[in-house]
Structures are given as structure tokens and as C-alpha cells.
Structure 1
Amino acid sequence: MKTQLALNTDLSATVSDGKAPEWVELIPPGPNITDRDGRQWLLDEQAGMLGQSSFTGRSIDLPIDWEHATQHRATKGEDAPAAGWIKQLEIRGGALWGLVDWTPRASAQVINREYRFLSPVFDFDPDTTRIARPVSAGLTNKPNFLLTALNQETTENTPVKLSPALLAALGLPDTATEEQALAATTQLKATAQATNTEKANLEQFVPRADYNALETRATNAEQALATQKKTEHDKAVDALITSATQAGKITPATVEWA
């Protein structure tokens, strides 16, 4: 889901009897909605806006602030006081309306036309542009200017340019998307974690010092065995030659040859 700030509504037209409006239109009728600057969204599943996943399931009122402070200031740890709270949502003629509990300050500003426009914030699917759920709303006076500024601030729809070196390290082509890079990174992380959690079979390993000692002992044993075999062989040959000489089978002159 991506978050968008747009679709300004003129509140001054709904002020009556010196009171700020209790019900305000948050999103105009769908299914196809075009904003002041040409952006378009899809609102063809209005009933879902009121469901457990969008509003009632949150068990919390949606804030109305000034100039979208919830998105711009609160995220930086700065003050973002509420101008009111959206207590209830309704679908009216395909449009989304909200019941507002205004703060005294905000109510007076709306009545006195100090703030005229209400700009809602909503989550939407970037692939289908389908609006999913309302997030908040902001009081503003310069909808066209604000929308232009928000277009510059809202970079969710701009494809992320990934580093070719990073993609190469992940074994991905230069055309790989951010989602593919994240998937490859997640897979590498899972593989590393699995490798680290595997228990080594100690029967297949031995300390290096012990290995070196065993290797030396084996080498010495092989040399000793070879020396012993040669000694026994020479002894047997000498015995045979001596016996043959004594039996007259060979002469003393041919002992070295034998």
C-alpha cells in the first residue's frame, strides 16, 4: 500500500447556522476519481472502506490536522495536534463521508473561513490505484499549491533506481525491480541464518594441533615400518647367500654378485 494526500473539499460551503459541519465529504463518488492536478484513483469497492481492515477494525478515530502535520511533522518528532477526529464513516451516493468531532480551535477557524479546504490522506494500491482505506485529513487553504508540493514530496510512485553493483552482487539483471532485489536479499538472509543454525558433526572434525600430531606420528610410523622391512629383507638375503656359499652353490668370488 502507498499513501496519498489529495482530493480537497471546500468546507466553507458546508458551514451553516454558525457551526462547523458535522459530516464532511472525504472522497468524492467513484469509481473513477480525478484530482485537481490530473491524478486518478479507483474507488470501486466502497464497502471495504468501512470494514475491519480499514476503519472499524482499528478501534481508533482518524485524525484531522493542519496542513497534513501528521505526515510532515509527526514523522520528525514535531508537534502535530489534532484539529478534530473522524468518529464514523458512511458511504453516500458512492462518496465517502466522515462524522467529525472538531476541536474548539479548529471549529472556530472553519466557521470564520480561516481554513476552507479539507484534504484527506488515504492508502491505495500502486498497481491498480484502488483506494484501500482512509488514514487522516488535513485542513489547508492552498489546495493547488499544496497538491503541487505534495506531488514533489510523494515519491512512492517513482521507480527506485537500484545500484548495478548491488544487483550484480545479488545475481540479478540491471532491469530487476526493487521487489526482486528485496526478495533476493531476504533469500540470502534466510540461507545465512539456516547455515548458522546447523549443528556441526564433531565426529567429522578434530583440533588442528591434534591433527598435526597425528600426522607426524603416522609419518614416523611409516618410516619405521619401511626401515624394519628393509632390515629384515637384507637379513634374509644375507642368510640365503651364506647358506648357498657353505653348500658350495656359489663361490666366494660371486658373493657380491649374488
Structure 2
Amino acid sequence: MNNQRRDRKQFGRTRTMDGAFLAVLPDGYFRASDFSPHDTEHGSWPKDSTAWASLKKHLADKQNDLHFDYDHQTIFAEVNDQPAPVDGRIKASVFEYVPDKRCLYTNVKWNDKAAEHLFKDEYRYVSPVFDYGPDGCCPIKFR
């Protein structure tokens, strides 16, 4: 499918063009739309240069591409016995951190079905899955 560029200004919104930058995590304190985390000091996760150093270390250790899936299905597949199709892939080496902006990555390779969903705005936001530190603090690695 031919992906068309769409300008997005909100954090986490997808773009339907391969190779376009896509924001994963905002800089500073943030939380999920369900208001998690509930087990951290500030009720949010900090994303700063310290968190980026940990994320970068774990990204450097990744041998396989990271993936995008629908509704976190790769996490829930064992529980709900539903398929977990991957809709996009990204190389761990292309993540970039821009202080006071966002944690960015580029060159998402969307499959045709995912590109169609994005073009129709059926999936408008990305929702990264990550582990955070034992102190309930900084994100330390993407899953």
C-alpha cells in the first residue's frame, strides 16, 4: 500500500508514511491514558537523559527488530488464545532521543493491512510496552 504523509502534532500519533518520525515517549513526566502507573512516587514515569541511557543500553543489546501489534495482543495471546499479528517492525538501532522533545524512532516498516488501518485513522496512537526500574521509576527497556 502506498503510505501517504499526514502531519501529527500530538504525542504518540501515528504517521502513515514509512520512514517518517514517530514519537514514542514524551520527555519529562508522563503517564498512560488509563492513568497508570499507580506504583510510582509521582504517579507517572520520568523520561529524561537517565531513562534514555537505560533504554539505549537495552536497545543496543537487541538482536531482533522491535514490533508493533494490535491492542498489545502479543502480550495477551497466551491468555485469550487469539492470534497476535505483527503490523510493523523497527530496528532497535534507529531510536533517537532529543532532549526536551520526545524519544523518536524512524523507518517503521508497516505491513499493508496496518498501513490501511493507519490511513483510515482506525489506529491513531502508538502505545509502547516497556519495563520500568525496580524502584518503580524510569522506563528501562522496550518489550
Do they fold alike, i.e. is TM over 0.5? Answer: yes
Q: Deviations over 1:165-224 (max 9, x none)?
A: xxxxxxxxxxxxxxxxxxxxxxxxxxxxxxxxxxxxxxxxxxxxxxxxxxxxxxxxxxxx
The partner residue of 1:67 within 62, 68, 71 is: 71
Find out whether 1:55 has 2:59 as its counterpart.
Answer: yes
Tell me how far apart the structure 2 counterparts of residues 38 and 70 of structure 1 sit (CA, whole Å). 20
Q: Which amino acid aligns with 1:114?
A: E
Name the SS for the 1:73 alignment partner.
helix
8 A contact 1:20–1:110 mirrored in 2: no
Deviation at 1:74, TM superposition (A): 4.6
**Bigger fraction of residues in helix:** 1
Q: Which has the higher contact order (CA 8 A, sep 6+)?
A: 2
RMSD over aligned CA atoms reads: 2.3
Q: Deviations over 1:60-119 (max 9, x none)?
A: 111100010011115665421101012221112352122211111101110121211211
Q: CA 1:38 to 1:57, structure 2 compared with 1: closer, same or farther past 3 Å? A: closer
Q: Deviations over 1:2-34 (max 9, x none)?
A: xxxxxx7222xx45xxx366321111112x223
Tell me how far apart the structure 1 counterparts of residues 88 and 123 of structure 2 sit (CA, whole Å). 13
Q: CA 1:75 to 1:26, structure 2 compared with 1: closer, same or farther past 3 Å? A: farther
Gaps in structure 1 of 5+ consecutive residues? 1-7, 136-258
Aligned length: 120
Tell me how far apart the structure 2 counterparts of residues 75 and 38 of structure 1 sit (CA, whole Å). 21
Deviation at 1:48, TM superposition (A): 2.5
Tell me how far apart the structure 2 counterparts of residues 75 and 34 of structure 1 sit (CA, whole Å). 25
Q: CA 1:74 to 1:81, structure 2 compared with 1: closer, same or farther past 3 Å? A: farther
- Give the TM-score of the pair, scaled to structure 1: 0.42
Q: Deviations over 1:205-244 (max 9, x none)?
A: xxxxxxxxxxxxxxxxxxxxxxxxxxxxxxxxxxxxxxxx
Q: CA 1:33 to 1:86, structure 2 compared with 1: closer, same or farther past 3 Å? A: same
Q: CA 1:24 to 1:116, structure 2 compared with 1: closer, same or farther past 3 Å? A: same
Describe how 1:162-173 pairs up with structure 2 within 5 A: none
Give the match for residue 101 of structure 1: 109
Deviation at 1:134, TM superposition (A): 1.3
Give the match for residue 85 of structure 1: 89
Tell me how far apart the structure 2 counterparts of residues 66 and 116 of structure 1 sit (CA, whole Å). 12
- Give the TM-score of the pair, scaled to structure 2: 0.71
Gaps in structure 2 of 5+ consecutive residues? 1-10, 38-43
Give the match for residue 32 of structure 2: 35
Q: Which amino acid aligns with 1:93?
A: P
Deviation at 1:43, TM superposition (A): 2.2
Deviation at 1:120, TM superposition (A): 0.7
